[in-house]
Structure 1
Amino acid sequence: MAPDSDVAAPEATGLRTHPLTAVVQGALWAAAATAGLISSLVTGDGWGELSPLVSLLVALGGGLVLGLLLGFVTWRFTRYVIDGTELRINSGVLTKSSRRIPYERIQSVDIAQPLVARLLGLAELRVEMAGGKDSRTSLRFLRVADAHELRRVLLSRAHGDGTTTPDEHRAVFTVVPPERVILGTILSLDFLVAAVGSVVLVVTMIWFGQIVVLLGGVLPLASWLAQIVARRVVQQWDFTLSRGERGLRIERGLLSRTSQTIPFARVQGIAVREPFVWRRLGWQRLEVDVAGYADRETEQDDSSSSILLPIADRVLAAAVIEMLIPGVRTEDLVRTRAPRRSWPFAPVGWRNRWIAADRTAFIAHEGWIERRTSIVPHSKTQSVELRQGPLQRRLRVATVEVHTPKGPVDADGRHLDERDARAALVAQLERARASRT
């Protein structure tokens, strides 16, 4: 049921999510049970005397039945209400809970479609609020049209419009072709290491006949390879970046589709990564610190929400950076470089360590095999710290750290001359103070 302009009165009992939520939940539980069984069989733990096929069927059927029951109970006792001041989600069977989300605290509203939900035309609504790791609230599952309509309602009221106006006009900024994502993944150094290592172990295993001994090395490499492909190809498939008045929207995914909103005001910094092979082709990957996302990534072991652009040439990457941090420059700046005497900390990479700043942002650069440039707007600087260990004191070097919310951005000037580091600390504090006032 789609919300209208006056969705529900405060005293209303509320709306239910889609009844097929139980089916999606059952499929997710069955998949989790099957994955757990396969993992136990690979590690040598079985289910007693049952054959692998019977065990698989038992896990699949048991997970499906349990998931269906849990999904139905969850659906039956979950209702949501949209009134004039807040979104309220009531749930619970024995213990009742009511999650209240004032409109003014809503930062963004995302839409996710796991594979089974996508096949059934359903979607999960994820509401991001200002706060810490418990700031996400989800509604599982709604019809896709209802999810988009509810997102328009919530964003409209969050921004003070008070009406369910149509979604803001968005212009597609860029679409990353799947073949480019695949090529970039194949040419990444970690993929090449995992692929070559797996092939070498398989050939060695066949040649010497030591299957059991070498299987322990093949499986971790194969698992690493699968994770790389899933994270960089499957999750970033058909990556589309569009822009609206209030922020960017990212749509991506081959099997499960995700629509993620990045409000301009929540961007805390940008990291530019240049893997070894990519540098020769002029390619870069952009990652972004978004306030509130990092804690959930740590819990779920998923960094996909930090990807701002999976692969791009330097011109496109510079255009996206300019869109989020207007006026920033990474070239033609006065750079403070790490001195030669800091080589014990990075025998080769010390040459690539430097920091710089313009009127807009603080910039830190490092890396030899993979170069990383971290860009932090002065207004997003939380604190600045000078760190100097015993060996650093002996070599007269120090590290200056510009603190931002936890995420891919790491704006540290490592092992600089101690006088340069102290001067950079004082200067960055002044820039941060001035940008806020």
Structure 2
Amino acid sequence: MSGGGRAPERVRAVDAGVPADQWRRVHPVSPVLNAWKALAALLAVIVYQNADLVADVLSSSWARERGAGVVALIVVAGLIVFLLIAAAYSWLAWRSTSYAVTDEAVWYRSGILFRSQRHARLDRVQSVDMVHPLLGRLFGLGRLSVEVAGGAGSNLSFGYLSTSVLEELRAEILALAAGLRVASQGSEPPGRAAEPSALQGSSPARGAAPSPTAAASSPAAGAQAQARVPVAQERVLYTVAPGRLVASLLLSPGVIAALLAALGFLALAVVLTVVSGPRALSGMAGAVPAVLVAASMVWGRFAGEFNFQAAVSPDGIRIRRGLTETSAQTIPPRRVHAVRIEQPLLWRRRGWYRVTISQAGYAGGDDSQSGSGARGDVLLPVGSREQAELALWLVVRDLGVEDPQAFLADGLEGAGEQASPFVPNSRSSRSLDPWVWRRRAVALTASVLAVRDGRINRRLSVTPVERLQSVGVTQGPLERRLGLADLEMHIVPGGVHAHAHHVDADRARDLAGRLLVLARERRAAEPPEKWMLRVHRAVEDMGEQA
């Protein structure tokens, strides 16, 4: 085709969707921090596989003729070549790695020969986490993990970036996800920060509610500049002292079982050594991995929940935790689908409770995507009754009853008695649940489905009805004979389940029908700005009372 016009600029498919000047680079040392384990393993493999060859060369006449100094210089030269190759790879990887934030999504691209581009839609963001691994903390750098609804593999994690950049980036993503828009300063060059006034609407923590109709920046201005969202102020609600965390672990059934197993293993090893000599220990080698797994689980929970802190800010609930590897998780409002308060038997005398949640993007409480090394579904590792109720209130604004305190007291401590709206299971379920049937009960209020369960480990699960995806009523052969059924409120996968076992069949069907009606009525859930106002006012009241 002939013509004097200028040929259109070629755009690679992997770069389509984001203007070129909106891409931002990660820190230059990111490839090294991301790949240091692989580089160390590669060097170890090279040394291990060639150890015999190196020993032969060092003992050969060639090495003796040239002397130890020349041989040492050759070894050093080899290491320098290896480091130069690694540095070249790191530079190329850094040049090809970048991220961008638009009004619709968070974008990330990487790859030298085979390039890839991923994005996380802002309307599906469940939480934004800042993770600082041990090596990254030495350089003051961390990674950002954007958890989205979509199952394993859909989350976006990238870095490394400085802590200040991470905080600003987190604030920008959460503001855009909440519906706020950043007005870019057209006079600012790309990468320069705009003044805080560029955010249309102030946060409640600064004295006013953000406007849901904040002015959006024009596409032209957004392509020319990137504005900085002011990091929202926060109010710390509760912290978990290391001593209380250790005591709670020592009083947890799983940890007690692990410690007893370890002590039994150690005692058996000592007995076998005394009776049959050290050779008898070889027969116990198969039990060593199980002991190590148990120890790693206990250590992982301690290190992951160490220095736990929960705070509230206009952009959501902020959770900080970690010992060797720290993480800062921000959960936007209306992203939690279910809450569970539990109390093991040995915690009752101390009045301690544990609170966990289910949210999309954290199926089963797995943090593998974010790399935080701790479960992302913990809202309170261990705390008082007041702290547990506060944690519940943060994510469930209304229990749908006139007396919430009495409702929670019956859910956490009740057994057997009729205390509306909790209806306990009938005596016909006793043959299926001889130990726990008196504790089991279900309540459907104007806003939540609450399930009471557990005898030794008391549990109360609370699920807002607007989170309903579907509802199921199932019966097994024994349940049909006894006139019982299981009621399950289907929500996102997670560690908390809205499942009532062995309920009277007629009541289960009635609850299922009422759930469907209530869910339709409450679909118009609380907008983010109302959540911000509610939390801000309550926290201010708490400060005045203190």
Counterparts of 1:7-22 in structure 2 under 5 Å?
10-12=19-21, 14-22=23-31
Is 1:226 aligned to residue 296 of structure 2? yes
3-state SS of 2:314 partner: coil
What is the 5 A alignment of 1:125-136? 125-136=144-155
TM-score after normalising by structure 2: 0.68
Residue 260 of structure 2: aligned partner: 196
Q: 1:258 aligned to 316, 327, 336, which one?
A: 327
Partner in structure 1 of residue 455 of structure 2: 368
Aligned to 1:322: 393
- Please report the TM-score for the alignment, with normalisation by the length of structure 1: 0.84
Structure 2 partner of 1:25: 34
Seen in structure 2, the aligned counterparts of structure 1 residues 101 and 337 have a Cα distance that, compared at 3 Å, is closer
Name the residue aligned to 1:160: 180
The one-letter amino acid paired with 1:24 is: L
Letter in 2 for 1:304: R
Q: Structure 1's 104 and 376: CA in aligned 2 closer, same or farther, altered over 3 A?
A: closer
Q: Do 2:175 and 2:315's aligned partners in 1 also have CA atoms closer than 8 Å?
A: no
Question: Counterpart in 1 of 2:504?
Answer: 417
- Give the Cα separation in 1 of the matches to 2:495 and 2:237: 23
SS of 2:21 mapped into structure 1: coil
The C-alpha deviation readout for 1:103-133, integer Å capped at 9, x for no partner, is 5554432211111111111110112345443
1:134-179 Cα offsets, whole Å, 9 max, x none, are 4321222111222222222333333323142311221111111111
Whether 2:304 is the aligned partner of 1:235: answer yes
- Distance, in Å, in 2 between the alignment partners of 1:91 and 1:380 is 36
Letter matched to residue 181 of structure 2: D
CA RMSD of aligned residues (A): 3.1
- The answer on whether the counterparts of 2:174 and 2:315 sit within 8 Å (CA) in structure 1 is no
Deviation at 1:32, TM superposition (A): 7.8
Structure 1 contact 110–259 (Cα < 8 Å) conserved: yes
The equivalent residue for 2:286 is: 216
What is the deviation of 1:28?
Answer: 3.7
1:295 Cα offset (Å): 6.8
AA matched with 2:485? A
CA distance in 1, matches of 2:365, 2:86: 24
Please list, as runs of the form range in 1=range in 2, the aligned pairs for 1:16-415 lying within 5 A after superposition.
16-29=25-38, 72-82=91-101, 86-101=105-120, 103-158=122-177, 159-162=179-182, 163=199, 164-209=228-273, 210-231=280-301, 233-294=302-363, 297=366, 304-328=375-399, 329=404, 330=408, 331=410, 333-415=420-502
**Segment drifting more, 331-340 vs 136-145:** 331-340
Q: Which runs of 5+ in 2 are unaligned?
A: 1-17, 56-78, 183-198, 200-227, 274-279, 411-418, 525-546
Kept in 2: contact 1:25–1:71 (CA 8 A)? no
Aligned counterparts of 2:455 and 2:87: Cα–Cα separation in 1: 51
Contact 2:120 2:155 in 1 (8 A): no
Offset, 1:72:
5.0
Aligned residue for 1:369, secondary structure, equals coil
Give per-residue Cα distances to partners, 1:7-62, cap 9 Å, x unaligned.
xx92328332112113312434368899x99xxxxxxxxx89989xx9xxxxxx9x
Q: Deviations over 1:296-352 (max 9, x none)?
A: 828669761001110011111012212221232433543222223323433312222
Match of 1:40 in 2: none
After TM superposition, give the deviation of residue 86 of structure 1 in Å.
Answer: 4.8
| Paired residues of 2:240 and 2:308 also in contact (CA < 8 A) | yes
Partner amino acid for 1:119?
L
How many residue pairs end up in the alignment? 408
Query: Does the CA-based 8 Å contact 1:288-1:409 persist in structure 2?
Result: yes
Deviating more after overlay: 181-190 vs 322-331: 322-331
Deviation at residue 409 of structure 1 after TM alignment: 1.2
CA distance in 2 between partners of 1:70 and 1:416 (Å): 62
Corresponding residue SS for 2:522: helix
Q: Secondary structure at the match of 1:94?
A: coil
Question: CA separation in 2, counterparts of 1:187 and 1:320?
Answer: 22
Contact persistence 1:348–1:368 (CA under 8 A):
yes
Q: What displacement does 1:239 show?
A: 0.7
- 2:173 and 2:483 mapped to 1: Cα distance? 54
1:81 touches 1:89 (CA, 8 Å); kept in 2?
Answer: yes
Structure-1 separation of matches of 2:115 and 2:259: 50
Change (3 A) 1:368 1:101: closer
Task: Output the amino acid matched with 1:386.
Answer: V
The structure with the greater share of residues assigned to strand is 1
Q: Deviations over 1:257-276 (max 9, x none)?
A: 10101112111010112112
**Distance across 2 between alignment mates of 1:30 and 1:369:** 49
2:506 alignment partner, SS class: helix
User: Highest Rg: 1 or 2?
Assistant: 2
